[in-house]
Amino acid sequence: MPSAPRPGLRVSAGLTIPEAELSWRFSRSSGPGGQGVNTTDSRVQLVWDAANSAALSSTQRDRILERLRGRLVDGVLTIAASEHRAQLRNREAARERLAALVAEAMRPPAPTRRATKPSRGSKERRLTAKHRRTDVKSLRRRPRED
């Protein structure tokens, strides 16, 4: 029984990529499948044009284009999935991978670390520990002859 058509790919609470913006390409896959692998187009490529997506705000688009620039070709992101024998499972894997990739790229950057100095107490504790260690090592030495 076919499932209901999806409104799109839900990436996060605030972003859903419409199904119309996703395009699919299918090809023959290598790997498991026996003789059927020669006749089944089970490898899936999911293509999404991030640069021209209407689902993104300008800040989201800029962040995605910046963070995924190594994976984009002319603003287009392509995800390939061929790890499963069935085309449907590869389609689901590609959708999940795209959603995870876009969600990770949209995360706000981590705040920059503010440099701090060690406290006076921590400096004193460090120095007393060093002096204690020095005393232990000096007790191991041969006594001096006067």
Q: CB atoms < 10 A from the CB of 94, how many?
A: 23
Per-residue pLDDT at 81 exceeds 60: yes
Give residue for tokens 């006749």: 39
Q: What's the whole-number mean pLDDT along residues 35-51?
A: 81
More confident site: 51 or 3: 51
Per-residue pLDDT at 4 exceeds 70: no
Give the pLDDT confidence of 106-132 residue by residue, as tens digits: 888 889 999 999 999 999 999 999 999
The region of weakest confidence among 3-12, 73-82, 101-110, 121-130 is: 3-12
More confident site: 32 or 70: 70
pLDDT of the residue at 6:
62
Q: What is the pTM of this model?
A: 0.68
Per-residue pLDDT at 54 exceeds 90: no
pLDDT of the residue at 33:
63
Question: How many angstroms separate the CA atoms of 96 and 25, rounded?
Answer: 16
Give the pLDDT confidence of 10-25 residue by residue, as tens digits: 888 788 888 888 899 9
Domains of the chain listed by start with CATH number: 8-106 (3.30.160.20)
* Cα 6–Cα 9–Cα 14 angle in degrees, nearest 5: 115
Residue 144's pLDDT band (cuts 50, 70, 90): confident
The residue among 74, 66, 73, 64 whose CA lies nearest residue 98 is: 64
Question: How many angstroms separate the CA atoms of 122 and 112, rounded?
Answer: 24
- What average pLDDT is seen over the chain? 86
